[in-house]
Structures are given as structure tokens and as C-alpha cells.
Chains A and B, each alone.
Chain A
Amino acid sequence: MKKRILIVDDSFYMRTMLKNMLTDAGYEVVGEAPNGQTALELAKETKPDLVTLDVILPDNTGLDVLKGIKKDQPDMKVVIVSAVGQEVIVNEAIENGALAYIVKPFSEEKVLETVGNALKE
């Protein structure tokens, strides 16, 4: 079975890059959410194995999304994708159950390695 991934990022450019990288590597991207509300809905609806989560979103913060996901579906794996300068939020995210983080700009190797490891945990 292909592992199923939900991408949460408010930038279309970032979502496209992530989607291409993950799809090329044989994952199934089950959804793309540009904001927190869509992210929570899609997480419920598509039940992905893993969520890549941007921490700065237009409606709620990524942290709220993380807490929302973990409340309903504690086993769902979450990897934080964030730009430099957000270390405080990233640390808080790790404390709230995110497995790992990827710093933008990311390389394909880094994304695949982090996602691969997170799925193994």
C-alpha cells in the first residue's frame, strides 16, 4: 500500500514542490490544504498516514492545527515544514507531538528522508 500524505501549506508553490517530490517518490498525496480549517477537515476526511504542516497559516497557526489533529487522531504522524526563524514554534510543535521538522528551503533528499523516517516510527 502506498503511504498517504496530506500537505498543509499556504503557498501554492511550496505545495506543488512538496507534492511533486512526494508523488515521484511513490507516496500518494491525498490532499492539499492552504489553511488551517481545510487542513483539519481533510485530515478527518482522508485519514492520511502523515501530514506535512506549515506553521504559519492564514487562519489559525499550524500549532492549533497540530493540536486539533492530535486530539481527534493521536496516531496520525505530523512533520513540521517551516522557514528559518520559527524555532520557538517548531519546538512547541515537537512538544505537542510533531515527529520532526523540515526547514524551508528544503532539498528533496531532506524531505524524503524526514518523511520516510517519520513513517517508520
Chain B
Amino acid sequence: MKSREQEYKEIFIAEALEYYDALSRHISELEKAPKDEKILAEIFRLLHNLKANAKAIGFINISDVSHKLETAFGLIRNKELAFSDNVVNVLFDGIDLLGEMITNIDNPNYKETSNEVLLRNLDVIIESADGAMPTAENGPLEVTKVQREFTAKNLSLSELIYIQIKKLDHMMNLVGELIIDRDRILSISKDLDNPDLISVSSHLYRITDELQFSVMDARLVNVGSLFNKFPRIVRDIAVAENKQIHLDITGQDIQIDRNILQIITDSLLHLMRNAITHGIENPEVRTKKGKPASGNVWLSAQNDRDMVNIKLRDDGKGIDLNEIKSAIVRQNYLSADVVKDLRDNEVLSYIFEPGFSLAKEITEFSGRGVGLDVVKNAIDSIGGRVHVDSQQGKGTTFTMHLPTSIAVKGALLFEVAGGFFAIPLMHTDSVVSLPKNRLHEVGDMLVADIMNETISIVYLDELLNAPEGMMQLGNKNILKGDEQNIIIVTYNNRKLGLIVDKLLRQQDIVIKPLNKPVDNIDIYGGVTLLGTGKVCLVLDVPAITRYFIGKR
């Protein structure tokens, strides 16, 4: 696990090695130009930083040696000590010792063998400055010859480099392109049935797979890098809201793509503020209800197959469904008689609608008009899902299901009217096969009862191919054959069934954005190329679901 301490240590070492290299360079320059004040000032600054950094992180030996060297160079700067003869040797040795100590920070077997002599030598030259200039004749200087073990110096560069995220983004895009071409080559090689080509393309397959994995891996960070900011934030909100909050954090070492974590940062902060300001009750109210005065908030991360689930749970007052129902009517989303037939999870899903608000008062941290729709949009944009559960009086749980990586997604491939299409697995609930007589015409829609739920069913061939103004989505006579293959998709606690002609397979796909002018068709979220070279359009489940749920 890469904790903040680990991160600080890596930064310290990388910077300390830079300082060491610069010090070595400057002291050689100084030997040629002992009076150059600019070089002296620079050496002094580097030692000064090294001393302060080492002390801050707790490498006291490095700090001590830097301090002694800094003092010596300070004396030279003030012309109280001459940079010559023995002094030069001692200072060279001192800087080399620093380098040795820095490179051995992680080496448990490293023994600072010849340091004592060297440290005494440093003390000697510092003290000698109090009196006369040290020379071989009159000086009290008794510099002992130091036998350094590393006469032939090892050159070493830092083990750690910093990479801009945009460089990693570029690599990820290239890997995406490569995978598309790889699948194409694999498919061609099967058609040609040439054993050499098959062998080399299966090797290519493995290598690109590993390459993709490595690039994805390089972008992973610990969820902890975000979670660890919360104790402080929670404390501040709790103080401002006059509430007592106990925060429990788990799963900090779960890894996720850095950009995904960046995108959900504001959302998580928003949900946390809501949980504390609207969820957790005042201590007096809680005590009256028989709850502990201090409210609990749990922030956790878990791996779930290829996804990461981030969960924020509170044991506050929960969401009042009746309050949401009246807000749905008050804000003109639906009429009162439609609302009373909604299932509980459908009612809850309205909290993610744009502009929807339950807030009656505005506090410092919440209720400034930024709604949960912003949270939802952020999570949609990376192909994730957000889900809410709430029990009145007991608390609320928000769960974000997030992809670990952005570029490659698992998808379900199918055929409609000879064309290829895909739906990200993130949005598929189940696949069922129903005879025509289980489908019912209700208004201008088809519906079916599937596992005790009434689900709207859309015939994709008609939706995608019917001429404008002639669409008959409520007519089951146009369906082909008797058994209908239906993919049930979910979005925001709502389900929709999509009738497809033929189910193909599950496959990892690289989704590319659509080019203009096609990108204004909001049924499609993107496009991918199949190994056969055929174009496969990726359906935008959020857009389609929104369209039909709005219709109902």
C-alpha cells in the first residue's frame, strides 16, 4: 500500500538524490573557482534544504551531516574558513557520505562504517575556523585520512520517475487502437488459415494483452489517496453543523484508475456533505430516538470482479419517500396519480433528476443548488453506475459501481437487422427469452412482467430502423418469430427491455467516440470495430432509458 508516508519518502529520496548530484557538481566547480560566491550560495542552499527535509522526514543522520556541511560552507562563505587543502578533502568526503546515505535509505544492511572519522573531521574543520586559518604548519587540524569503501563510485539514477497523466492518457489511447488492429489481424489469420500467421498473431494477442494490462496498471492509484482526505473534511463539516460524527474508512488500498478517482472526487465530497448535513440528525434528536448521540458514517471501497464499488453509508434519518413523492409532483416531474404507483426504488431514483431538490434550508455546506444529478452525470461519464438505498429512520447508502479502467469495457454483443451492436455489461441486468404472448400492448409501448416487475419493452429493429414518424413501438405484430430475445438494461434503478434479433457474445471492447455528424444521435454512446472489421455501434443506455422512462 502506498500511504502518504511512502509517497513522502519517495519524493524525499528522489529530491535528495538530485541535490546530491548538484552538490557533487558544484563542489568540483568550486575547487576550480574557490571564490565564486554564486556557487557557494547554491551549495549552501542545497545543503540547507537537505537538512530541513531530512529532519522533517526523520532521517536524522542525513540531517546531521548536512547540517555540519552547511555550517562549514557557511564559514567559507563568510571567509572564516579557507576552501583549500584538507578542508576540500573533508568536504568532498562529506558530500560523498551524504550520497551514500541517501542511496542506502532502503538498505537494511547498510552500516555507516567510516562515518565517525569523517564526522570528527568535519567538527575539526568547523572548530578550526574559530582560531587561525588552518594550515599544515600551525593548525590544530588533525584530519584523519578516511578510507572510503567506494573508491570506484557507483553511478545511480533515481528509481522513481514522475510522469504527466496526459502522457499516460496518450499511451492508453494508442493501446486502444492497437487492440482494435490486433483483433482484426487475429480474425484475418483465422480466415486465411495460415499456421505461421496464426502463431504470430496469437503471440501478438498475448503481448498486446500484457501491454494493455501494464499501461492500465501504471495508471492505478490507491483509493486511499482520496479517502485519507476525508477525516479532516468530515471533522470540519461536523463542527460547522454542530454534529458528532464518527467516520469509519475501509479499503484504502483498493486500486483504481487515477482519472476515474479524479472524476468522482467532487461527487464523493458532495455525498459526504449530504450525509452529514441532511442524513445524520442532531445529537439531541438521535438520543431521543434511542440512537447513539454520535452519528456513524462508513466510507468503503471493495473490488467486485472488474469493478470497484465505493460505498458511503450513514446511520442517519434516511430518505423520506413521501417527501420525495410530493417533491416529484411539486416540481412537475409526474402527476400525483402516476407517482402513487411507483415502486420505492423508482421513487428514490428521482433524487438524481436534474434540478430535483429536497433542501428546504441552505446551510454552509449543503443545499446550494448543486443537485445529485451532477453526481450522476460524473459517474455516467466514466461508464459507472450509482445506486441509492435508504431506510427511513435507519440511514442511507450510496453505492458507486466504477470501472477500474477507462479505455476497455466488457460488453454484450448482439445483432439487429444484420447490424452489430453492443451494450456495456455495466448496464446489462439480465437476458431473457419470452414468447410473444407474454408481451402486452399498453398504449404505444410493449410491456412484460418479468420476475414480478412490469418492464417496458422496446423492439430495437423498430427503434433503430423505422422511418421517422412511422415508429410502431406498441405493435407486437411486427415482431419476427415467436420467441423474443430480450436484454434487460438498468439505469438509475429503472429497467428497460430491448428486443434484439440475435445475441452474439461477451467481449472486451474499446469504445471510440462517434465522429460528427453522427454524434448528435443520442442513442449511441460510441463505436467500436470488431475483429472482422465490421463496425459495431455501442448503445447509450442512459440516453435510451431516459427517453422511454420520460415517455411513460
Contacts and interface: CB of A to CB of B under 8 A. Distances in A.
A11 B4 contact: no
A14 B233 contact: no
Interface in A83-115: 83, 85, 104-106
A121 B49 CA distance: 30
A14 B232 contact: no
Given A26-B236, A105-B56, A10 B4 contact: no
Interface stretch (B8-16, B166-174, B433-441, B472-480): B8-16
A74 interface: no
A13 B4 contact: no
Give the residue among B11, B49, B53, B229 with the most A Cβ atoms within 10 A. B49
Contact of B42 (A14, A58, A104): A58
Given A25-B232, A83-B48, A104 B8 contact: no
A26 B233 contact: yes
B79 interface: no
Contact of A11 (B15, B55, B70, B232): B15
A11 B45 CA distance: 10
A14 B56 contact: yes
B4 A20 contact: yes
A13 B232 contact: no
Contact of A104 (B11, B44, B55, B232): B55
B45 A104 contact: no
A24 interface: yes
Interface in A54-94: 56-58, 83, 85
A43 to B, nearest CB: 21
B52 interface: yes
Contact of B49 (A11, A25, A106): A11
B42 A12 contact: no
A12 B11 contact: yes
B114 to A, nearest CB: 27
A18 B15 CA distance: 16
Contacts of A13: 8, 11-12, 15, 53, 56-57
A11 B52 contact: yes
Interface string B1-24: 000100010011001000000000
Contacts of B11: 12-13, 16
B68 interface: no
Contacts of B8: 13, 16-17
Interface in B34-84: 42, 44-45, 48-49, 51-53, 55-57, 70
Interface string B226-251: 00010011001000000000000000
A23 B4 CA distance: 14
A47 B320 CA distance: 45
A38 B52 CA distance: 22
A8 to B, nearest CB: 13
A83 B4 contact: no
B47 to A, nearest CB: 10
B56 A56 contact: no
Task: Say which size band chain A's interface belongs to.
Answer: 20 to 34
Given A26-B236, A104-B55, A12 B45 contact: no
A14 B53 contact: yes
Nearest to B16: A13
B56 A17 contact: yes
A111 B236 CA distance: 17
Contact of B51 (A17, A24, A83, A106): A83
Given A10-B49, A11-B15, A106 B236 contact: no
A16 B6 CA distance: 13
Contacts of A56: 44-45, 48-49
Nearest to B232: A24
Contacts of A58: 42, 45
Contacts of A16: 8, 11
Contacts of B44: 56
A25 B45 CA distance: 29
Interface in A10-49: 10-14, 16-17, 20, 23-26
Nearest to A106: B56
Interface in B431-478: none
Contacts of B55: 83, 104-105
A26 B11 CA distance: 23
Given A11-B15, A14-B56, 11 more contacts: A11-B49, A14-B49, A16-B8, A23-B229, A24-B233, A25-B232, A26-B233, A56-B45, A85-B70, A105-B55, A105-B56
- For the complex of A and B, list the 10 residue pairs with the smallest distance between their C-beta atoms, beginning with the closest: A105-B56, A104-B52, A83-B52, A11-B49, A105-B55, A24-B232, A13-B53, A13-B11, A13-B15, A13-B12
Interface of B: 4, 8, 11-12, 15, 42, 44-45, 48-49, 51-53, 55-57, 70, 229, 232-233, 236
9 contacts: A11-B53, A13-B11, A14-B52, A14-B53, A24-B232, A25-B232, A26-B233, A26-B236, A83-B52
